[in-house]
């Protein structure tokens, strides 16, 4: 007697369906494919049709994730571009105490972490000049070059700075990823060599914006650029906070800002800011600081009263009102020095 074979259990049709790719997955795949195409064809020549065909999706699906090619470009290169701008800002605010070597090391890190996107950003002329980026790529590169050369750089120094940055970019394109970490010290040394600096020495002569922290003295050298005033304010506040002299910081920051701004406008040379704690001068008092602003302009400034309606430019009138002592003189390394001293007492004390 034969038996009927039992029918296999019916599977729930819903369990047989493959889950559609998540939105984030499609977006990541689109970015990778767009990056691949842009490196091969150039960003301008990469179309949404290329991306749709490569992923077997519709052009409408591409538009769903990136409403325009401007949005696609920002998604591709936004991270390395913002990282380079942040690096430039750190240098402009005196935060790179390792000087040129630290700048180059961090620049190399950006290139390694964002290898494909960074190479597209600095090589593809259609990306560099794209209206969506509004000149930010070239501006970031210019700021980094300026930090490596200082404000008074000639054409040769600018060429060396460009060569140093280029010495890091090119190997990123040709070396296998697994060799980059091992090659990192060699690449940084090569970039420093392009600048004319030895990797084993402090690159003080190269990175003239570098700050020095030694004993009871602090030094910051900045080019005569608009950011120098902000860098100086930050530097003075940071040093006085470190020394526990916060009660003097308000006046010191205000007066240093006036003197540095005056040097930016009139001297137009590199500016050296020096802060000394309890300077060994006749009559100095406890918790006294001396701030010096030096530049290479041989003209001594002439004090004059500011307009009563002015919001800046009070200069020496303000220094005279808020400092216990101040003055100016010439010296050998920097032609002109203007200084002021502050302590706990009132300005007249």
Binning the chain into helix, strand and coil, the percentages to the nearest 5 are 55, 10, 35
- Please tell me the predicted confidence (pLDDT) of residue 23: 54
CB 75 within 8 A of CB 105: no
Of the chain, the end-to-end C-alpha distance in Å amounts to 121
Task: Identify the segments of the chain with pLDDT beneath 50.
Answer: 1-2, 9, 11-21, 197-214, 306-313, 348
Q: Cα dihedral sign for 111, 114, 116, 118?
A: negative
- Please tell me the predicted confidence (pLDDT) of residue 153: 61
- Please tell me the predicted confidence (pLDDT) of residue 5: 53
> 115 - beta bridge partners?
none
**What are the structure tokens assigned to 283, written together?**
């009559």
For the domain bounded by 71-195, which CATH number is listed? 1.10.357
Angstrom distance (rounded) from CA 175 to CA 50 = 28
Per-residue pLDDT tens for 151-161? 656 788 888 88
**What are the structure tokens assigned to 150, written together?**
């200082």
Residues in the chain: 349
**What are the structure tokens assigned to 253, written together?**
């920051």
Q: What's the gap between Cα 63 and its chain centre?
A: 34
- Please tell me the predicted confidence (pLDDT) of residue 223: 77
- Which contiguous run of DSSP H or E holds residue 325? strand 325-330
- Which contiguous run of DSSP H or E holds residue 213? strand 211-214
For the domain bounded by 211-342, which CATH number is listed? 3.30.565.10
- Please tell me the predicted confidence (pLDDT) of residue 159: 86
User: What are the C-alpha distances in Å from 268 to residues 142, 235, 272?
Assistant: 18, 20, 12
**How open is the CA angle 198-192-270, to the nearest 5 degrees?**
90
CB 271 within 8 A of CB 293: yes
CB 232 within 8 A of CB 238: no
**How open is the CA angle 222-90-244, to the nearest 5 degrees?**
80
For 198-342, list the strands marked E by DSSP.
211-214, 217-222, 271-277, 289-295, 325-330, 336-342
Per-residue pLDDT tens for 294-310? 988 777 766 555 444 33
Contacts of 219 (CB under 8 A, 6+ apart): 211, 212, 272, 273, 274, 275
Write down the architecture of domain 21-67 according to CATH: Orthogonal Bundle (1.10)
Place of tokens 């003189």: 329
Q: Domain map of the chain by residue range?
A: 21-67, 71-195, 211-342
- Please tell me the predicted confidence (pLDDT) of residue 333: 60
> 273 - beta bridge partners?
220, 293
- Please tell me the predicted confidence (pLDDT) of residue 4: 53
Closest to 207 in 3D by CA, of 118, 84, 92, 316? 92
3-state secondary structure of 330: strand
**What are the structure tokens assigned to 329, written together?**
């003189």
Per-residue pLDDT tens for 75-123? 999 999 999 999 999 888 878 877 788 899 999 999 999 988 988 988 8
Judge if pTM exceeds 0.85.
no
């Amino acid at each position: 007697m034969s038996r009927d074979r039992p029918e296999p259990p019916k599977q729930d049709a819903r369990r047989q369906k493959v889950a559609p790719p998540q939105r984030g997955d499609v977006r990541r795949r689109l970015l990778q494919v767009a990056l691949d195409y842009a490196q091969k064809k150039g960003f301008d020549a990469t179309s949404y049709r290329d991306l749709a065909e490569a992923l077997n999706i519709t052009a409408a699906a591409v538009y769903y994730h990136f409403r325009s090619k401007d949005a696609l470009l920002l998604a591709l290169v936004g991270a390395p571009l913002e990282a380079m701008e942040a690096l430039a800002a750190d240098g402009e605010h005196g935060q790179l105490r390792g000087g040129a070597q630290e700048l180059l090391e961090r620049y190399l890190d950006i290139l390694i972490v964002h290898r494909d996107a960074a190479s597209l950003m600095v090589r593809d002329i259609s990306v560099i000049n794209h209206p969506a980026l509004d000149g930010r790529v070239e501006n970031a590169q210019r700021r980094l070059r300026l930090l490596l050369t200082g404000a008074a750089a000639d054409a040769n120094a600018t060429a060396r700075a460009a060569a140093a940055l280029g010495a890091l970019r090119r190997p990123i394109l040709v070396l296998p990823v697994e060799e980059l970490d091992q090659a990192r010290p060699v690449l940084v040394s090569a970039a420093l060599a392009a600048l004319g600096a030895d990797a084993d020495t402090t690159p003080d002569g190269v990175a003239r914006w570098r700050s020095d922290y030694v004993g009871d003295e602090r030094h910051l050298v900045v080019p005569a650029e608009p950011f120098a005033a902000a860098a100086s304010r930050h530097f003075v506040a940071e040093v006085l906070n470190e020394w526990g002299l916060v009660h003097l910081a308000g006046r010191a920051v205000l007066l240093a800002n006036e003197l540095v701004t005056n040097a930016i406008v009139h001297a137009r040379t590199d500016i050296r800011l020096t802060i000394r704690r309890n300077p060994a001068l006749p009559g100095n008092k406890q918790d006294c600081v001396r701030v010096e602003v030096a530049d290479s302009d041989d003209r001594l400034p002439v004090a004059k009263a500011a307009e009563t309606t002015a919001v800046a430019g009070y200069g020496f009138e303000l220094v005279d009102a808020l400092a216990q002592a101040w003055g100016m003189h010439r010296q050998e390394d920097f032609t002109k020095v203007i200084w002021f001293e502050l302590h706990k007492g009132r300005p007249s004390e």
